[in-house]
Amino acid sequence: MIKATIYNQTVRAEAGALHYLQGQIEIQTQMPSATGFLKSLATSETVFKPTYTGSGTIFFGPPIFGEYTILELNNEAWVVDRGAYVCSDISVEVGAWRNKAVTALFSSEGWFQTQVSGTGRVVIQAQGPIEAIDLVNDRLVVDGSFAVARQAHLNFSVQKATKGWLSSAASGEGLVNVIEGTGRVLIAPFPNLHNNLLYSMSALIPRATS
């Protein structure tokens, strides 16, 4: 659970993130602009993001239990996975990031992801522990939905796991997400560990033979 203490300040949160609050705090929900409405649909985030203004303490949390990380933005932009955004300072703009066509078609991220930009704090969540990886003119290969967030200036693409299609298929990896450049990436292996566990359990189920 996230505890936000404010003094004559305003914070923004994902709809449904509020658990409870204490103090003189006013909750407001404004109608989004046409552009904001379309961005919300594209990123699968909720259309309405209420603001909390005043002085007191607010407790936020996502609908699932997980791990939280605070991003300290300093006039920069980050791309976060769909559903990872929880809340942020009002100074942070929440919008949409459009992936390249090939990346959108063949990656699990889709055409649009959530973008947070500006200066301020952003809280994101994942289903397991989050690890920061710093790239210095380097390349990070990610199999599946490991990446929870990345700095927006990093190059994100989908590539074959190996040089040839046949060898990629034989390796069991096929296509992988590749992040290149200099910057920070946050990863959380838990979703893939969860899928691997389900796969391992399914392998133990006896199958009928003809």
With contact defined as beta carbons under 8 Å apart, do 8 and 40 qualify? no
- State the pLDDT at residue 136: 96
The model's pTM is 0.71
Sign of CA dihedral 177, 40, 53, 127: negative
Please give the single-letter amino acid code of residue 177.
N
Residue-level pLDDT at 27: 93
In a domain, 210, yes or no: no
SS3 69: strand
Residue 32's pLDDT band, with cuts at 50, 70 and 90, is: low
Per-residue pLDDT at 72: 95
In tens, the pLDDT along 5-19 reads 999 999 999 888 888
In 3D, which of 142, 161, 145, 152 has the Cα closest to residue 122?
Answer: 152
Range of the domain at 34: 2-203
Q: Is residue 208 part of a domain?
A: no
Residues ≥6 apart with Cβ < 8 Å to 46: 14, 15, 16, 40
Split into its structural domains, the chain has a count of 1
Q: Is residue 178 part of a domain?
A: yes
Q: What is the CATH number of the domain that holds 85?
A: 3.60.160.10
Residue 128 lies in a domain: yes
86 contacts: CB under 8 Å, gap ≥ 6? 2, 13, 14, 17, 60, 61, 62, 68, 123, 124, 125
Diameter of the chain measured on Cα atoms: 71
Q: Quick check: 162 pLDDT over 60?
A: no
Could you write out the DSSP letters of every residue in 31-42?
A: PPPHHHHHHHHH
Q: 166-190: per-residue pLDDT in tens?
A: 444 444 446 788 899 999 999 987 6
| All residues at 6 or more sequence positions from 101 whose CB lies less than 8 Å from its CB, including other chains | none
Position 158: which residue type? V
> What pLDDT is recorded for position 21?
92
Answer with the residue of higher pLDDT: 43 or 117. 117
Residue 21 inside a domain? The answer is: yes
Bridge partners, residue 89, by sequence: 11
Name the residue type at position 64. I
Is residue 156 assigned to a domain?
yes
Is 209 within the bounds of a domain?
no
| In contact, 181 and 153? CB cutoff 8 Å | yes
In a domain, 17, yes or no: yes
